[in-house]
Structure 1
């Protein structure tokens, strides 16, 4: 599994550096345009994991690297667990990077005189707990998406999997919207109204982030087991 992780990060070395630079540029423009660091932090946190997942999957299919890799002293189980571990480390690294960039920008804007930047770009409007919650939440949602996509990628390969992933995402979104529309009120006193009030009280963003991490970890682990079973049955 360690060999697989090292190989993945060697493959992504240049892409990681380029993506970090892109995220910094996007953060500056998006933060100013949106007038908030919270939305900006969530946006840049959501980018790297899913993008790098498909970069690795595309590399697997180049020059039949995936088939050649199976001739090495690596079992299919090690390949799957190694890939999940690589993307898990990328998700954790993304959280660290997004938070470091967010708090750096928060420190910079605290020295900017009022009236120059949009009203939402103030320390009072971007509390640390909300920044942590937005970053962890964004990475958590993307990790759930990876938990859905990875078994399909291991079973069908990237080219065929990309046909199924959007369909599943659209169906899931449609089902979710239908459920929320029918069962959960967005009006004052409704579920989301109460949720936002609860989140804005104390450090509840952190409690929600911790709960999300626990749920995502369980789903991600279950996805790895499913992907292993599917990959072991795949024929090249």
Structure 2
């Protein structure tokens, strides 16, 4: 497991500079336009799981790298587990860095931007964690598709699923949820924000662990 995890980190090192550059640009841009450090930190943290996941899967498709890794003395279980662990580790690292940067900028930028929305450290950290957990659920749904069908086919199928799900959501929101119902839901969320925040973390990690188990079963039965 350790060797497989280190090999994943070796792949991450090949694109980590460009990855940091993208996140830094997005953070500064969102922070400047939205005038909110909490919002910028949340956006950057939300980007991380999917960016890491697709970057690693894209690397698997290059020059038969996945087949080569499967031929190494790694158990297939370890290959999948290390992939999930790498995504989670990178997401956690970005949460720490984005939260720290957000807290620092939150104390300095209000001096230069008149309309800058000040936020407390707890708000910045919680928004970063919540955004990460929400997207981690999406990554947990996507990863088994990519393991089963590969990066190219998996993305095609997923786009169809997401477009269909988006259309269904629009129909439900516009036809079945009245504005007063939405306001009641938002008020309920605001009232129970901390219990919901803890529940989101627990549910997201449980779904992520279940996704890892499913991907292991798929990869063990897959003919490379």
With the length of structure 1 as denominator, give the TM-score of the two structures.
0.85
Q: Hey, which of these two has a bigger chunk of helix by percent? A: 2
Equivalent residue, structure 2, for 1:128: 121
Question: Pick from 143, 149, 153: which aligns with 1:150?
Answer: 143
**Kept after mapping to 1: 8 A contact 2:35/2:117:** no
Equivalent residue, structure 2, for 1:167: 160
Distance 1:76 1:118, change over 3 A: same
Equivalent residue, structure 2, for 1:41: 41
Q: How far off its partner does 1:4 sit?
A: 1.6
How many residues matched?
224
**Kept after mapping to 2: 8 A contact 1:187/1:193:** no
Equivalent residue, structure 1, for 2:84: 84
Q: Whole-Å Cα distance in 1 between the matches of residues 178 and 93 of structure 2?
A: 36
Equivalent residue, structure 1, for 2:5: 5
Distance 1:207 1:59, change over 3 A: same
SS in 2 for 1:62: coil
**Kept after mapping to 2: 8 A contact 1:144/1:220:** yes
**Kept after mapping to 1: 8 A contact 2:136/2:208:** yes
Q: Whole-Å Cα distance in 1 between the matches of residues 182 and 218 of structure 2?
A: 45
**Kept after mapping to 2: 8 A contact 1:45/1:135:** yes
For residues 52-131 of structure 1, what are the structure 2 equivalents within 5 Å? 52-110=52-110, 112=111, 116-119=112-115, 121-123=116-118, 126-131=119-124
**Kept after mapping to 1: 8 A contact 2:39/2:127:** yes
Q: How far off its partner does 1:154 sit?
A: 0.9
Q: Whole-Å Cα distance in 2 between the matches of residues 183 and 11 of structure 1?
A: 46
Q: How far off its partner does 1:145 sit?
A: 1.3
**Kept after mapping to 2: 8 A contact 1:76/1:228:** yes
Q: How far off its partner does 1:83 sit?
A: 0.8
Q: Whole-Å Cα distance in 1 between the matches of residues 149 and 181 of structure 2?
A: 46
Equivalent residue, structure 2, for 1:235: 223
CA RMSD of aligned residues (A): 2.1
Q: Whole-Å Cα distance in 2 between the matches of residues 98 and 185 of structure 1?
A: 36
Q: How far off its partner does 1:118 sit?
A: 4.1
Q: Whole-Å Cα distance in 1 between the matches of residues 169 and 69 of structure 2?
A: 39
